[in-house]
Structure 1
Amino acid sequence: MARPDQEKCRLCSKLTSQEAQQRHGPNEDGCWDAKYCHNRRSYYRHRGVRNHVRKQRRQVQQAEPLSSEPEVSRAARVATLEVLAPAVPAAIAHFYRQTKDSPLHALGAELWMGNDRIAKIEPVHCLGLTEMQVKNLLVRILDGFSQYSGMKVERFRSSVELNPLNCPIYPCPLHPSETNYGS
């Protein structure tokens, strides 16, 4: 991962460290560099959270002037106004797969209204489902969210790609030691 190939590094960050070294090691495409890759993978895994925290910190700093600043006349102060955005439902899909080209392992979803999660579809395994069956499942999820919220939810506003090794469903075919066959 020594090259600045952002998309490749972002996808690599979803893999475990061992998988990444095997896929991008000297025998494969040769981009793995132990000196840089651990930090870069961490950066790509956590950048969404870091950006969110930075944004919140900036908002707080803008709202609360520092006490060490000299007094400024009222005319020179700038008012900070809070405008409440209308609460509209936003659906987020959770895809459990290695890459966008990999087969879909599981699918889950959440419904958000403003800053609050108001509904959640627990992940379900998609093993053996055709592409059309997955699309129909996504439509049924949106219909369920529409009924629950009382407002039409037409599409997913965002999607989250998760590694299938993080699949929360028990038993899971990816974890054969957890599967209890014959009992």
Structure 2
Amino acid sequence: MARPDQEKCRLCSKLDSQEAQQRHGPNGDGCWNPKVCHNRRSYYRHRGVRNHIRKQRRREQPAESRLSDSGASLSERVATLEVLAPAVPAAVVHWYRITKDAPLHALGAELWIGNDRVAKVEPIHCLGLTELQVKTLLVRILDVFSQHSG
């Protein structure tokens, strides 16, 4: 596990070199070590940029080169199989609210048959509707979807 950052060195890295040597040299608190401090100050000064560049390179690196040690690509090693699933209609309801226990703001729905979306109900504002009115609205949406899908 990496050792924790030294707060004193991190703050010192923001100072210019002469000011850091005055504060931490023989006339200051005495922690200045010329063999170590120049490199450490550079590390703390540039580590944010270096970590960002390293993270970008990792993201840009293709998954196949990370996973395969041999010359074979990922698609050559893993077989892709297709399974025919029955095209069953399914209704997906979208509840628009800030949190789970917040009042319902709007209600939307989609009709899916298999992997294809075949119908969509745009969001309907529900502010001020009672629970019974919302349930009635859901039943109407299901009726419209059942008429559409046959």
Per the normalisation by structure 1, the TM-score is 0.39
Greater relative CO (CA pairs within 8 A, separation 6+) = 1
The structure carrying a bigger helix percent of its residues is: 2
Per the normalisation by structure 2, the TM-score is 0.47
